[in-house]
Amino acid sequence: MSEKAGSGPAGGQPSRNAGVLTRQAEDWVFLFNTSTNELFRVNATGGRIWDLLGKGHSAEEIALTISSEFEGADLERVRTAVHSFLKELSKRELIT
């Protein structure tokens, strides 16, 4: 989902860092962290997760939404991937 890309604090609701600028170009979403001056590129699925975070969805809601949007997707695998992606976003200070 990401070339360089969390969940919020342990057990908490993840939310997007207000200091992150977002731009979409073709199949990629670019996230620029104005605090660290780092640019991250995520694919369309990562971009969809980013969008859902902006709408206040929990990690579980995101996993359920993503799995319903991809026919035949295994919910447990999607949960694992979403949590891994959110962990990386958190590590990179893109979400809190």
Q: DSSP string of 69-96?
A: HSTT--HHHHHHHHHHHHHHHHHTTSB-
CA distance 37 to 64: 32
Mean pLDDT over each residue of the chain, to the nearest integer: 90
Going from the C-alpha of 93 to that of each of 7, 26, 62, 65, 72, the distances in angstroms are 11, 25, 19, 24, 32
Asked if the structure places residue 31 within a domain, the reply is yes
Asked if the structure places residue 15 within a domain, the reply is no
Task: Write the DSSP symbol of residue 13.
Answer: P
Asked if the structure places residue 45 within a domain, the reply is yes
- The average pLDDT across 26-42 equals 96
Asked if the structure places residue 87 within a domain, the reply is yes
Asked if the structure places residue 3 within a domain, the reply is no
Give the range of the structural domain holding residue 36, as residue numbers without chain letter: 20-91
- Under 8 Å CB-to-CB from 38, ≥6 apart: which residues? 4, 32, 92
Asked if the structure places residue 4 within a domain, the reply is no
pTM (two decimals): 0.86
Tens of pLDDT, residues 41-67: 999 999 999 999 999 999 999 999 999
Number of domains in the chain: 1
Predicted pLDDT of residue 1: 61
Going from the C-alpha of 44 to that of each of 1, 6, 79, the distances in angstroms are 7, 17, 17
Predicted pLDDT of residue 13: 87
